[in-house]
Structures are given as structure tokens and as C-alpha cells.
């Protein structure tokens, strides 16, 4: 399911979509005034910027299941409205690979790490991984949410979420 070259994993599920730069400077500025030099999220509604970033997920009021990204309607039971929640910043590594060819529209560096992290909420997040050499990673190791710069766009640092091996 994860391919080593030019992966576009996760698009079908609407989860962990391939990073892209905003096509409109007004979006993703995260409430700041947007002048040159500010940090910009690659997409609104995925995570909260900051020194201790958090992913924004959702919890269904009917079935209680947790999703990421947050959907308006529960993707599991289709019944409940979905409340916005902050997901845990730590998890364990479940699967990983390296993407060696840039996917269409991607402007960041290659190779980059890509994989799946299990969160405490019982959710698997498809995510960028800061370690791009697969041999340096182990299944089950502790991972921590960080922000990773994809590219610069009109003087803004365009940030996306990623998981990094936790300091031990
Ligand atoms: Zn539900």
C-alpha cells in the first residue's frame, strides 16, 4: 500500500494527503497578518501552529470514534456530528518508507520519510516522517509530532505536520 517511489498514499481516504502549497495566499495564515516571514500552514484545519503543535481531529458524538482530519459528518457511522478535538502529540511507528520522487505538485525536498503512526486515541495517522532513511527506524518506536518546512512561498515558511523519533 505504500510505494517507495512517488507515493500518493492516503488520498482516497482523505487522510494525510500529499503536501501542497496553498494556491491562495490568504489561506492558512493562521490568524496572523500574513506579512513576509510568517509561518503558514500547508492547509487550514489540519494542525495548530506553534512550538508544541497539535493535530486537529474529530470525535463523533454518536459512536465516539476519532478521525483525522476532522470531517463534518462521522466517516464511520455517518450519523453523528463530529466535535473538534486535539489529538495526542505522541504515538508509535507502525509503517514507514521513503519517498524518493516528488509527487505531482510537491515542492519540498526529496527523499522524505512517509509512514503511519498509531496514536493513543486508537487512530492511525498517515504522515510525513522526519527521518528519510528507513533503516534508521524501528516498528513500535516512540514518535512525536513536529512541524516540518516544505518550502518557502512569497517569503512565508510553508509548514506541514510530521512525526519525528522521540528523544530518549
Ligand atoms: Zn460516528
Q: What is the pLDDT of residues 18-35, one digit of tens each?
A: 444 444 444 444 444 445
Q: 82 alpha carbon to ligand 1 midpoint, in Å?
A: 8
Average pLDDT over residues 121-129: 95
The predicted model scores a pTM of 0.75
**25 close to 152: Cβ distance less than 8 angstroms:** no
Residue 45 pLDDT exceeds 50:
yes
Q: 57 alpha carbon to ligand 1 midpoint, in Å?
A: 13
Q: 80 alpha carbon to ligand 1 midpoint, in Å?
A: 5
Instruction: Please give the Cα distance from 168 to 163 (Å, whole number).
Output: 15
Q: What is the pLDDT of residues 88-119, one digit of tens each?
A: 999 999 999 999 999 998 888 899 999 999 99
Q: 17 alpha carbon to ligand 1 midpoint, in Å?
A: 22
Instruction: Please give the Cα distance from 89 to 166 (Å, whole number).
Output: 11
Amino acid at each position: 500500500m505504500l510505494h517507495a517511489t512517488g507515493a500518493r498514499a492516503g488520498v482516497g481516504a482523505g487522510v494525510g494527503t500529499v503536501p501542497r502549497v496553498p494556491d491562495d495566499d490568504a489561506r492558512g495564515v493562521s490568524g496572523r497578518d500574513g506579512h513576509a516571514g510568517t509561518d503558514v500552514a500547508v492547509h487550514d484545519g489540519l494542525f495548530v501552529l506553534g512550538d508544541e503543535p497539535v493535530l486537529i481531529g474529530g470525535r463523533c458524538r454518536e459512536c465516539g470514534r476519532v478521525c483525522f482530519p476532522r470531517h463534518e459528518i462521522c466517516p464511520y457511522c455517518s450519523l453523528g456530528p463530529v466535535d473538534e478535538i486535539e489529538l495526542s502529540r505522541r504515538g508509535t511507528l507502525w509503517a514507514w518508507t521513503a519517498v524518493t520522487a516528488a509527487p505531482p505538485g510537491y515542492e519540498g525536498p526529496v527523499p522524505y520519510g512517509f509512514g503511519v503512526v498509531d496514536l493513543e486515541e486508537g487512530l492511525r495517522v498517515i504522515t510525513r516522517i522526519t527521518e528519510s532513511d528507513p533503516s534508521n527506524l524501528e516498528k513500535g518506536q516512540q514518535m512525536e509530532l513536529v512541524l516540518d518546512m516544505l518550502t518557502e512561498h512569497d517569503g512565508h515558511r510553508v509548514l506541514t505536520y510530521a512525526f519525528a523519533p522521540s528523544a530518549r
